[in-house]
Structure 1
């Protein structure tokens, strides 16, 4: 039962109620015992003084051998017969008289006031009055066992109704918890009946205040899932289109190469095939990189390495491809400062795509410059840049702009932007006068955890 929210709530309520009842019973027991003792002590005091006054007025003859029980004040509690016992002792130490049921042994050695004593295995509470004028000492006491039984009877009168009420109270609590949990049950039932593709928000009007935050959170989740699905749908549509185009070109150029007898036409066709294969290969790799970046490959704590190490490794990797077109890669490390530590997986994706993008957009014989320090990484090419109105869309998927290249796919800056967000960095793009284009990762520009939130 405790595995369910309803069961836990029921158990908590029952235990809380039982605990409160137990504390109340203990408090009533202690207060009742104290009150009973106070009242009975007052009665002992009154009875002892009454007997002493009767001795003074000679209404009790102390010369007789014993006291008649009728001389003791009237007893009001018939269920506790012989509760009060009385002894009259001379000041010289002889027993002058006792009431019916009083022990023959002296009940108290105290001269005056209250005291307690065990007589024949029974505890007595006694009040003593010393009457110097009459030369006697009056001892009036009652059995403590009778006092304890009186308190137990009072507490028993409280516990018996509780034993009868607890089952009924438990049933009422179970019914009340069930009715209180109905809004949550209705919410769960509505979610269970939903189709997998139904991402419409749940109506929060009329929902209980405790349920409304859950509904709001679920609606936010539905919205994020819907946006993700739409992005994936568009991504797949664009990816299919981008792959279909070079594949169709490959088929066409291959057919031309097979059918022609002209060497120049065949060579041109083969060159086009090589270009299409290169573009398709790069597109497939970037699609995989995009999927990995979106899946948060670096969201968990990855291996931290120096940024300079990654820049040098990626530059060496791209040097052969750049040299085919006579493009040089210049590295400008920070002076007098240590390289910043970055997530290895994400940094490799970002740096590779930045350098590839710069090589693709640089003219033959141009130069790609990479500079970095503790706060930024900047890759500069010598190309024509982008139109100012296109810079804001440069990181969109498959957006290639006016100055597109033959091997571009429009995913390079998208991957860089995704990696930057995961690393808590910011991608800043700008044209450089008179020519050239700057793509810069500015570290510390945002909170990486906040950047991951939609």
Structure 2
């Protein structure tokens, strides 16, 4: 049977476990009680027989001998006012005794055991006999000195009354207590699961897009790891959603204008009948599409950096090798811009732990940003070295530079300096900043040692 709720599952599991433990214990206790009662009753029979033996020895057999065939009979009736009278039955009628002389005659007996046949030669100690409608437990004690045999007996229905009382004593607590226990267990489980209900309410009332962690007052120790994992998962989910929203906003912002420009150029080319004018508008449309492709590439680079931060998979990267690859990729752009680029490799290799795509994007955008702000004939110097426990990347140019008061704002998305040339879109330094954050690196915008220009220094901590 499948239980719908954790509360019901816990309640019935606890009840079943209690039944599985208490029921065998009750049965064992009941059997032990019955065994103790039987041993106690047998002990009373033996003690009664030995008491009679002492009395017979002191009184003598002649004083006990009767005149009829059954000897002296001890009556067992009690008056109705006797406290032993209960529901028409008497406790006295359930016990009795016999005293048999050497010749086998009953000299003294209770009326309820007077008709019990004399014992055989092999009868001794305890035995079960049938007398009339009742079954008796009889103890036989022969006295070798006087030749007297003393027999004491107890009816089994007396013991059965004790057995029924013991059964009721052991079973009633289970029959009455288990339903009550089930109710109390249900209340205890419901109270114990109250933190889960609080967690459910906290999650239900949480606003979409909220970055606040889920907090429960006095959360139990078992729930604290769940809260920590849940808050971590919610934070990662919100970060992913934020990246998606940011990327969508970037795309909508950056692609609207170039797409409109391309559409206008294409419509103009289709509307004109002058081949020269149509060719010029088509060339403009081609440049617009090329710029659009470049802008999409930068937006995708930002998206890849965000995804890299979420993946958390780092590897050993040689910064010098990455820089050589980036320079080879930018060779046509460097040649077209008429700018001199120099690469100072102060150490053969500088190994860092990080993301190769992010480091490549960092170096590429630093170089492109420098090339974009330099006039023809300018110089850009790239240097990579290891200083202490950090890898230092310096990109130095001799361009117009950036005033100190505006350096903090150049990392904003879509920010462009007035001195830039070419088809920049204000995303380069934003990509550099995000790549640096992924590697716990610091970025500084400093004055160029050439007197004019800018020096961008990135310090990446080594493992």
Task: Choose the corresponding residue for 1:408, options 413, 424, 429.
Answer: 424
Of 33-42 and 137-146, deviating more is 137-146
Number of equivalences: 417
* Root-mean-square deviation over aligned CA pairs: 6.2
- Confirm whether residue 332 of structure 1 aligns to residue 330 of structure 2: no
Return 5+ residue gaps in structure 2 as ranges: 79-83, 102-106, 130-136
CA distance 1:295–1:200, shift in 2 (3 Å): closer
- Confirm whether residue 440 of structure 1 aligns to residue 455 of structure 2: no
Task: Choose the corresponding residue for 2:441, options 403, 407, 426.
Answer: 426
TM-score (norm. length: structure 1): 0.62
CA distance 1:221–1:342, shift in 2 (3 Å): closer
CA distance 1:236–1:50, shift in 2 (3 Å): closer
Cα drift, residue 329 of structure 1: 4.0
Q: Is the 8 A contact 1:354 1:379 kept in 2?
A: no
Task: Choose the corresponding residue for 1:281, options 273, 286, 293.
Answer: 293
| Equivalent position SS for 2:382 | strand
CA distance 1:390–1:36, shift in 2 (3 Å): farther
Q: Which residue in 1 is equivalent to 2:7?
A: 9
Q: Which residue in 1 is equivalent to 2:357?
A: 345
Q: Which residue in 2 is equivalent to 1:387?
A: 403
| Equivalent position SS for 1:410 | coil
Q: Which residue in 2 is equivalent to 1:54?
A: 52
- Spell out, residue by residue over 1:113-158, the C-alpha distance to the aligned partner (whole angstroms, 9 max, x if none): xxx9999xxxxx9999998987989898999999899668734665
Cα drift, residue 397 of structure 1: 1.7
CA distance 1:97–1:327, shift in 2 (3 Å): farther
Q: Is the 8 A contact 2:436 2:443 kept in 1?
A: no
- Spell out, residue by residue over 1:60-99, the C-alpha distance to the aligned partner (whole angstroms, 9 max, x if none): 9699999999799x99998999998999999xxxxx9997
TM-score (norm. length: structure 2): 0.61
| Equivalent position SS for 2:409 | coil
Q: Which residue in 1 is equivalent to 2:323?
A: 311
| Equivalent position SS for 1:340 | strand
CA distance 1:388–1:208, shift in 2 (3 Å): same
CA distance 1:441–1:229, shift in 2 (3 Å): same
Return 5+ residue gaps in structure 1 as ranges: 91-95, 109-115, 120-124, 446-454
| Equivalent position SS for 2:410 | coil
- Spell out, residue by residue over 1:334-368, the C-alpha distance to the aligned partner (whole angstroms, 9 max, x if none): 35x66234333333333333333333334433123
Q: Is the 8 A contact 1:311 1:351 kept in 2?
A: yes
Of 233-242 and 382-391, deviating more is 233-242
Cα drift, residue 54 of structure 1: 1.4
Task: Choose the corresponding residue for 2:42, options 40, 44, 62.
Answer: 44
Q: Is the 8 A contact 1:85 1:141 kept in 2?
A: yes
- Confirm whether residue 294 of structure 1 aligns to residue 292 of structure 2: no
Q: Which residue in 2 is equivalent to 1:449?
A: none
- Spell out, residue by residue over 1:257-301, the C-alpha distance to the aligned partner (whole angstroms, 9 max, x if none): x9899x9x9999999777655543321101112223234476153
Separation in 2, partners of 1:238, 1:286:
10
| Equivalent position SS for 2:351 | coil
Separation in 1, partners of 2:118, 2:344:
114
Q: Which residue in 2 is equivalent to 1:323?
A: 335
